[in-house]
Amino acid sequence: MAQLWGGRFQKETDKAVYDFNASIRFDKKMIEQDIKGSLAHSKMLEKQGIISLEDYKAIKSGLEKILDDVKNNALEITDEYEDVHSFVEANLIKIASDAGKRLHTGRSRNDQVALDMRLYTRDKLVQTDEALFHLLNVIIKIMEENLNTYMPGFTHLQKAQPTTLAHHFGAYFEMFKRDRQRLSDIYERMNYCPLGAGALCGTTYPLDRDYVAELLEFKGPTLNSMDSVSDRDYVIEFLNALSIIMMHLSRFCEEIILWNSNEYRFIEIDDAFSTGSSIMPQKKNPDIAELVRGKTGRVYGALMSLLTTMKGIPLAYNKDMQEDKEMAFDAYDTVISCITLFGGMLETLTYNKERMAQSAMMGFTNATDCADYLVYKGMPFRDAHTVIGKIVLYCIDKNCSIDMLKLDELKGFSDMFEDDIYDAISLETCVEKRLTVGAPGSEAMKKVIEINKEYLEDNKIKEIF
């Protein structure tokens, strides 16, 4: 048990207490961030004349060696230490003796952990954005290739109106685009440096907080030292954004599972992204889509968990806040792997275009267009709606679609029907005439794709952040 305190204690910490209290098992993930923060802190201490140049140099090379050794497996992070901060400091003291002991001047683990968590979350925000950026590129490519891939659009999971694959996937493009915007909003709000807040009330040393903030690429220092050490809003906001991403992915997965089913057969998931059954030789299961859908639960769980943890904590730091890490880290990693795997699966899907178009032709997806036809001929819409309703009933009885009826039969319902009805309600016309912004007509879609390509061009990963 190597701990950073003990002077005022007369007894050893109980082993079970020590283990319960320790966080090294999970906060070791923040080793890079912890060392990065210490490098900036010590550089500032030297600039301010709080430590000597010699001490700073010893600290710097010691910290760099620790990180190298950990990366090369020459130094193991064991649970002999309470947390990652103790691990780094204890090892630094081994290497740099008194200089190492000066590192923690003007700093508390409270502002240190607040900084590490911010840096870690900021890194994960960028990685998530990067994964979404790649996914958006996959989606837009599929959209461009499928402007005329007709399929039914659904409401209540019942065929509603015909659309295209480009249009359907375009809906997800908008969702993931909003997700990226949410991430960038969070980034803007969280990008301030808490280091220098000390335990809760700042410090008497003449720290240059602006300088440390600049070294760590923050916009500036946080403005209230109590808030600095007790704020985890940015973790909650990020978990919220991740939950929304998972909700989007989960909806997309649900559709892929449906479309891949024997009943739909709209798409086929590539062998590389499917799994088999141990007993049923015919099976090819959409496990990846199911797992992504399933993992949504644990990401929502992380959000609920931290919201609940934070709700009754008085200012400033309390140990409850150590609970911000495990589930959040799990959620960060889960979402990045889900986006990445989902993108791979999407990229390799094959489409049964014939069947999609056939499906769009059945199920009266052109009923609205048929009513609109009568409206253009002068009938009030409400009357047209009733006439087409009756035609649909007639067709259900005859087991056919509206366009399969003869003109005579149609005229039996309204003498406004003419020969041009067939053209007016063909699958192609039904889609291609929908030309308002955001509608599936390919000319309208082309414009939207142009706008979204410009968006991707203007919002590459590095430029946002």
Binding site for ligand ARG (CB under 6 A): 23, 27, 83, 109-110, 113, 317, 319, 321-322
Give least dist CB 183 to ligand ARG, A.
24
> How do beta strands 150-155 and 220-221 pair?
unpaired
| 33 to 112, 265, 329, 425: CA distances (angstroms) | 10, 48, 14, 62
Give strand pairing partners of 159: 154
* Cβ atoms within 10 Å, residue 462: 8
Distance in angstroms (rounded) separating the CA atoms of residues 165 and 153: 9
Distance in angstroms (rounded) separating the CA atoms of residues 134 and 380: 48
Looking up tokens 């973790």, which residue turns up? 235
The SS3 assignment for 268 reads strand
Give least dist CB 83 to ligand ARG, A.
4
- Looking at the Cβ atoms of 248 and 325, the one nearer to ligand ARG is 325
Active site includes 156? yes
Burial zone of 465 (CB within 10 Å; 0-12 exposed, 13-18 middle, 19+ buried) = middle
Give least dist CB 8 to ligand ARG, A.
14
Q: Which of 86, 134, 156, 228 is catalytic?
A: 156
DSSP 8-state symbol, 313: P
Q: Which H or E run contains 163?
A: strand 158-164
- Looking at the Cβ atoms of 318 and 337, the one nearer to ligand ARG is 318
Give least dist CB 307 to ligand ARG, A.
17
- Looking at the Cβ atoms of 16 and 272, the one nearer to ligand ARG is 16
| 336 to 181, 212, 263, 299, 430: CA distances (angstroms) | 17, 30, 31, 11, 39
Q: Which of 277, 305, 359, 401 is catalytic?
A: 277
Give least dist CB 117 to ligand ARG, A.
8
Give least dist CB 35 to ligand ARG, A.
16
DSSP 8-state symbol, 275: B
The residue number with the shortest CB distance to ligand ARG is: 322
- Looking at the Cβ atoms of 317 and 417, the one nearer to ligand ARG is 317
- Looking at the Cβ atoms of 87 and 273, the one nearer to ligand ARG is 87
Token pair listed for 367: 């009923």
- Looking at the Cβ atoms of 254 and 326, the one nearer to ligand ARG is 326
Active site residues: 156, 277
